[in-house]
Structure 1
Amino acid sequence: MKIIILNKTVFLTLILLFILTGLTYSQDVDIIPYLKQIESGNIDEARSELLDLKEEYPESPSVKFLEGVLTENGQLAVVIYQDIVDNYPTSKYADASLYRIFSYYYALGLYETAQKKLDQLILDYPGSPYIKIAQQNKFPTENISVNEEEDSTEVNGEETVAEQEFRFTIQAGAFSNRDNAESLKAEFLNSGIFSDTKEKLVGGTRFHIVYVGKFLTENDAESFLQVINKRYKLSGRIIPITW
């Protein structure tokens, strides 16, 4: 599922900027050749190379960034980029990762979250070339607090999210203690991932269920499930959205 479809010229310009940024660093895995493959349209070849890179350098932030660039599922890509920002803040592509998170939320019309990500980019990476690019985007002067639990279907007149209703979500956990449920929900929200809690009465016991992500297809949910189970050490499961 492609949640955001970037204009081809914009996409190639960003890839070029990623390459130029990477040239200023000498540490970590050099992913510039693979970014050039993507720029040239050899995406399948880059994906094939990524499998070997992930096996050889499983904790490389540069390899993680390459994985994010090649990930078509927007929600899943955000998780990858947020992992880089949170756990590898001094890596060469940390500011680029934060910029791509900003772009994701801006494209969805979730301007309040996008503004927070832009503020973080300015604060944490004041010399980043992505700041000026991000600031070219205009925020609405009114109603910036969009209901961020609703899914925008148009941004500046262009469709950015499929108009179909989301059909699946992930049940990340069930807690008898509400504070534990709210704590997990906050972790997801702080990473820029949709999350919600609902109460459910089972055998006379009230549980607080934590849900994360919303997906059009079960395959999209499955890819996301593998990432969050590993990152948050969960045993989540995919369920249909019934609310």
Structure 2
Amino acid sequence: MIRTTCFLKIAFGLLLVLVARHPLLAQSEENALLQLLANNDHAKAKAVVDLIAQRQPGSPKALFFQALVEKNADSAIKLYNDILLLHKNSPYAPKALYKVAQYYFVKGFYFSARKNFLDLIGHYPNLAVRQDASYYAAKCLLMTGKADSARIELQTLLASEPSQDVRELVQDDLDELQEEQQKSARMAAQVVPVKAAPPKEQTAPPKNFTIQVGAFSNIENANSLKSALTKKGFAVEVVRVQVNRRYLYKVYVGRFARQAEAEQFAVAMESKFGLSYRIINLEE
């Protein structure tokens, strides 16, 4: 084991010298590291990265490779942000920015994710992942209820003849948007019977039921969904609720006197807009 480790250090030390003299080899070095991670050989990958960090401490390359092998996502993002702050002109800066944008997207922080994807496209137009960044920037619009704007960006991206992988993702989203639009048109054509108003002398029952259509850790995402639904004519409110020592921002639609009324309205709304829901009794 000791001999193997020494041999690894010597071999990788020679590789570092070659990379320093020939920068184009850096990409193959990164690919080799990614292959180790793909093979779940994390120990060997970590040993390689530690050697890089020892020989080039604080360099953008060392920070980027350390982030790649870091198992804690928040710690990895800190390393990527260090690259953007301290080495913004490094060839590793756009890669770090893409990783940060992906992190925000997975976390559901779609406003921050979109901003970073757009920054990547604007500052690095020739980057290999430019088409992927354009797709996810449009996807952020879709995830925050801005379907019309998302459709325009997706159609523009499709017209630019993207790679097959991106084209398939874009086409799937456009097909889904088209299907939702057709469902909305069919529902709008249906005649909805209007219930007679109760006599004025009767006291209206309390409206203790509502429909929850979202719960976010970020109030911006909750307000974005509220804005999208309000524009469609729904009565929407955002309520802050403490759950396990943290706050969630829940999005409620409407108030109903009976659970059956809320369920009927929610089913129609789900069919029209594809929104998942829960019926909430506010008295409980």
TM-score tier (shorter) = 0.3 to 0.5
TM-score (norm 2): 0.40
TM-score, normalisation: structure 1 = 0.46
Structure holding more helix per residue: 2
